[in-house]
Structure 1
Amino acid sequence: MQDRDFALNPAQAEQQQVSGVLRNTYGLLALTLGFSALVAYVSQQLRLPAPNLLVLFGGFYGLLILTTKLRNSAWGLLSTFALTGFLGYTLGPILNRYLGMANGGELIASALGMTALAFLSLSAYALTTRKDMSFLSGFITVGAVVLMVGVVASIFLPISGLHLVLSGGFVLFSSAVILYQTSAIIHGGERNYILATISLYVSIYNMFISLLQILGVVSSND
């Protein structure tokens, strides 16, 4: 009986650790999404200018690297909110551009609803089936490189339809990251809730922007 109890304890401890990481991740994710939405609203109301590419990439990657370095300290929480707040600020000008369209409000609401539904569905699938999604790591690595090259190409080469293709690619890429990250928490591949939160937040952000772009293009063609 004692041997059996000893065998069960590590499993129970592992399950408690997984539950703790999931709880902390989704709690912090909810807070950062709310904070980001608030910053986006202020940015939209004040009609703040969109950051140029240098500021956008410098701010994002700079804060991302800082958050990664501080992930094991309380300062990591502060940098997490700085990163998500910065991305919230970048949403303001984008929202104003779509609100200038005749059906802009409907497009934003539709993109937001589709993003929420996709995230909840993907997360629920990973949590309920508990399948190991580590096989997606290769797709995510290759996808990140391909999308980055595509983004750079879209800046310098006016290729028709490239933005739409990239938007669709980002939706698929973000979906894969959500499945992979959730599975990593469940199966012990991710034990830092700050990094897990950032990964999920960026996926949600990219998915929302991409769906908004797709809906905008479809709407303009009607």
Structure 2
Amino acid sequence: MDNKMIYEAAKTGNPSSTYAQNAVLRNTYILLSMTLLFSGAVAGLSMALNLPHPGLILTLVGYFGLLYATSKFRNSGLGIVCVFALTGFMGFTLGPILNAYMSLANGGQIIMNAMGATGLIFLGLSSYVLTTKKDFSFMGGFLAVGILVGFLAAIGAYFFEIAALSLAVSAMFVLLMSGLILYETSNIINGGETNYIMATTTLFVAIFNLFTSLLHLMGFMNDE
């Protein structure tokens, strides 16, 4: 069943809509697993080759450009290509960051702790929504404003080199990305999100930012 068929079925309000929502959820988790593995492989290759970080400007241009392309082609096979390009690019930008942590005395432990915490948070929040089927759609406006404020604060912390603000932004993004996982999972099971490519993209971005934010906070707590 393609995205258009899933979308039409989800709108009918009959038993087939439940099948459609389950199909979106199943396809989302399959694609999410594949993109996480692909992004991790690209990050590992970037680390092995010791590639430099592309910098803030190129990172933002690449991220938003590929995000736009993914959204534009979300109802076609090209959307799959775009989502892998996006997640691969994010893995590429992550490699140099992980190399910087690996150069620290306990960098490997920090990375593993952040990865473990990310996995536990994602699984815990997802399981909660899937079990209770609670509707978190009311969080949409709050999350949109919060992410925008956090994004602008992160840019300010980067250019003005304000360490305290940078830590505050990381803590803020841990909460925001946790909320985004609740919101998007709820959207999928309640029929608010009918496109598994966009659902995958949203959840991947939430996991990626949750991991990097936890990495930053744990590095600070370990005096690194």
TM-score, length-scaled by structure 1: 0.93
Residues 1-22 of structure 1 deviation map (CA, whole Å, 9 limit, x = unaligned)? xxxxxxxx95421110011000
User: Which residue in 2 is equivalent to 1:159?
Assistant: 162
Letter in 1 for 2:188: I
Residues 50-92 of structure 1 deviation map (CA, whole Å, 9 limit, x = unaligned)? 0111110000000000000000000000011000000000111
Higher alpha-carbon Rg? 1
User: Which residue in 1 is equivalent to 2:122?
Assistant: 119
Once the two structures are superposed, the pairs formed by residues 102-181 of structure 1 within 5 Å of their partners are: 102-181=105-184
Runs of 5+ unmatched residues, structure 2? 1-11
After TM superposition, give the deviation of residue 154 of structure 1 in Å. 0.7
Residues 90-143 of structure 1 deviation map (CA, whole Å, 9 limit, x = unaligned)? 111001000000000000000000000000001001110001101111210110
Q: Structure 1 residues 46 and 69, CA, compared in 2 at 3 Å: closer, same or farther? A: same
Aligned-residue sequence identity (percent) comes to: 49
SS of the residue 1:197 aligns to: helix
User: Which residue in 2 is equivalent to 1:3?
Assistant: none
* Structure 2: distance between partners of 1:46 and 1:152: 28
Runs of 5+ unmatched residues, structure 1? 1-8
The answer to whether the 8 Å contact 2:125/2:181 transfers is: yes
Letter in 2 for 1:190: E
User: Which residue in 2 is equivalent to 1:58?
Assistant: 61
Which of 73, 90, 99 aligns to 1:87? It is 90
Which of 29, 34, 37 aligns to 2:40? It is 37
Length, aligned pairs only = 213
2:206 is the counterpart of 1:206: no
Letter in 2 for 1:161: A
SS of the residue 1:161 aligns to: helix
* Structure 2: distance between partners of 1:156 and 1:116: 31
* Structure 2: distance between partners of 1:103 and 1:207: 20
Higher mean alpha-carbon deviation, 182-191 vs 151-160, is at 151-160
After TM superposition, give the deviation of residue 149 of structure 1 in Å. 1.7
Which of 57, 71, 76 aligns to 1:73? It is 76
* Structure 1: distance between partners of 2:13 and 2:146: 37
RMSD of aligned residue pairs (Cα, Å):
1.2
TM-score, length-scaled by structure 2: 0.93
After TM superposition, give the deviation of residue 157 of structure 1 in Å. 2.2
